[in-house]
């Protein structure tokens, strides 16, 4: 499906990114990442701890690292510098609001990376959402990465698991790292089986999640005091409740009254649509929440 030679089942997206990065790099290398990427922000600094790698971060434009910024960040052949060996990209880009990077954007980054002999790893936790939103075959996107991590457990709805795909030689190394990290399970079939359902039955329906997220954002934007923070292109809606005088706590309580679980920590939070939430649920939620928010 992703146009690669070999694949490996891993426990989680974080484990998948870790084994892929370790397979591409040597201790002391520098790798280029987007400043708000999941790998950099939310994977416990694993690249430094496990790989002895330095992170060179670049602020992207809605998650896309501009090719000229990659070019300017690659270290030359200078005895003082850590060698740059890998570029990591994320598609869809989570913290920008589930924004899909286009085929052209992926290609532009790939071209610069390859000009400089870098490997390219795609954190494609939600790359099927990107493909569906762009109306392209997912291979069009993944052709511009050597290795890809996909999550079976997010929009694709499996209870657990991710895959790492790529060329045989890198997946062979990744398998060894997976073992080192305790992810080589003899009993894996029982948790891998739902992944087959995820890949064969749950991809095309992502279009519903996207339509539901769009409607959710539209409806919430009509409520005074709720701001939508991102252009809604896939399954994510980021909202800001500060004009309501609400923090996440009031939000969570209001949702609970309506029978919904939604975890808010601050006045900015993320809503994600998924399997099991239908358009009529969105409409009912919008009606309910409109009645519960303070009038501003």
Ligand X SMILES: Cc1ncc(COP(=O)(O)O)c(C=O)c1O
* Binding-site ranges for ligand X (CB under 6 A): 12-14, 38, 90, 94, 123, 125, 151, 153, 162
Q: How far is the CB of 96 from ligand X (least distance, A)?
A: 11
Cβ-based nearer residue to ligand X, 45 or 117 = 45
Nearest CA to 121 among 75, 61, 173? 173
The SS3 assignment for 188 reads coil
Contact 54, 80 (CB under 8 A): no
Contact 203, 136 (CB under 8 A): no
Q: How far is the CB of 91 from ligand X (least distance, A)?
A: 9
Q: How far is the CB of 145 from ligand X (least distance, A)?
A: 14
Contact 156, 202 (CB under 8 A): yes
Q: How far is the CB of 32 from ligand X (least distance, A)?
A: 16
Cβ-based nearer residue to ligand X, 38 or 175 = 38
Q: How far is the CB of 119 from ligand X (least distance, A)?
A: 18
Q: How far is residue 273's CA from residue 265's CA, in Å, rounded to a whole number? A: 19
Which parts of the chain fold into alpha helices (H)? Answer: 13-24, 38-42, 46-51, 67-73, 103-115, 127-134, 138-142, 168-180, 189-201, 206-221, 248-257, 279-292
Cβ-based nearer residue to ligand X, 29 or 34 = 34
Q: Phi-psi category of 33—alpha, beta or left, where left has phi over 0 and alpha has psi -120 to 50?
A: beta
Cβ-based nearer residue to ligand X, 38 or 233 = 38
The SS3 assignment for 147 reads strand
Q: In this chain, which residue has its C-beta nearest to ligand X?
A: 13
Pairing of strands 227-228, 236-240: antiparallel
Q: How far is the CB of 14 from ligand X (least distance, A)?
A: 3
Q: How far is the CB of 27 from ligand X (least distance, A)?
A: 23
Contact 100, 129 (CB under 8 A): yes
């Amino acid at each position: 499906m992703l146009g690669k030679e070999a694949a490996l089942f891993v426990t989680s997206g974080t484990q998948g990114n870790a084994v892929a990065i370790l397979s591409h790099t040597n201790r002391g290398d520098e790798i280029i990442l987007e400043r708000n990427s999941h790998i950099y922000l939310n994977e416990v600094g694993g690249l430094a701890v496990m790989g002895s790698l330095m992170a060179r971060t670049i602020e992207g434009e809605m998650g896309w690292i501009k090719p000229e910024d990659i070019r300017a960040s690659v270290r030359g052949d200078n005895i003082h510098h850590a060698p740059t060996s890998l570029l990591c990209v994320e598609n869809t880009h989570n913290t920008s609001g589930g924004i899909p990077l286009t085929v052209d954007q992926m290609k532009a980054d790939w071209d610069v990376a390859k000009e400089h002999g870098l490997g390219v790893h795609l954190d494609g936790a939600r790359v099927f959402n990107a493909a569906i939103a762009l109306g392209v075959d997912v291979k069009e996107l993944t052709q511009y990465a050597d290795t890809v991590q996909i999550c079976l457990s997010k929009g694709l709805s499996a209870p657990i698991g991710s895959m790492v795909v790529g060329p045989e030689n890198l997946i062979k190394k990744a398998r060894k790292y997976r073992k080192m990290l305790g992810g080589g399970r003899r009993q894996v079939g029982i948790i891998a089986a739902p992944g087959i359902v995820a890949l064969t039955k749950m991809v095309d329906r992502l279009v519903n999640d996207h339509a539901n997220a769009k409607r959710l954002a539209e409806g919430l934007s009509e409520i005074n005091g709720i701001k939508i923070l991102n252009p809604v292109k896939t399954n994510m809606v980021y909202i800001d409740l500060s004009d309501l005088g609400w923090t996440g706590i009031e939000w969570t309580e209001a949702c609970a009254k309506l029978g919904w679980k939604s975890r808010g920590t601050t006045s900015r939070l993320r809503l994600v649509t998924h399997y099991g939430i239908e358009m009529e649920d969105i409409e009912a939620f919008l009606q309910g929440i409109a009645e519960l928010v303070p009038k501003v």
